[in-house]
Homo-oligomer: A and B are copies of this chain.
Amino acid sequence: MFNLDPRLAADSIFVADLPVSQLRLMNDCRFPWLVLVPRVVDAVEWTDMDDERQAGLLSEINRAAILLRAIAPCDKLNIGALGNIVRQLHVHVVARQVGDAAWPGPVWGSGQAQPYDDALKRSRMEFLRQQLGA
């Protein structure tokens, strides 16, 4: 059975279940930042997935990139599967802007997350779900 890692659950907000992965918004308003968590039991490495799931997740990464660009213009997308702290396989897709809180370094391990306030969280979630439905 698929169980979401408790740290991923605490740090991010459920957006939608896509065919392969659960799409979540990182609760850090410094960056437009999505996380895809494949619903594959015990997957730790990208290479733990079979070819079909890899292809499906790749398609969902492309979809996440489109969603992020719809939120705001971005100078660079960052895509990463690290998992040094949370071992459950998850893929980050982050919209970076020149001069953002971690620029030009990586977002991982950079400063403290700034959680969304209620109003911004609500509007962002509505926007993401509307875009996914469109």
A residues contacting B by CB (< 8 A) are 44-47, 54-55, 58, 61-62, 65-66, 76-85, 87, 96, 103-106, 108-109
Query: What residues of B have a CB within 8 angstroms of the CB of A81 in the complex?
Result: 77-80
CB-based contact B109/A77 at 8 Å: no
Main secondary structure of the interface of A (DSSP, over half): mixed
18 contacts between A and B (CB under 8 A): A44-B76, A45-B65, A46-B65, A46-B79, A47-B62, A54-B62, A55-B58, A76-B87, A78-B80, A78-B84, A80-B80, A80-B81, A80-B82, A84-B103, A84-B104, A105-B109, A106-B106, A106-B108
Interface centre among A62, A79, A84 (most CB of B within 10 A): A84
Residue of B nearest to A65 (CB): B47
Query: What residues of B have a CB within 8 angstroms of the CB of A103 in the complex?
Result: 84
Residue of B nearest to A61 (CB): B46
CB-based contact B77/A104 at 8 Å: no
Q: Smallest CB–CB gap between A10 and chain B, Å? A: 17
CB-based contact A83/B87 at 8 Å: no
Q: Which 3 pairs show the lowest CB-CB distances between chains A and B? A: A84-B104, A80-B80, A105-B109
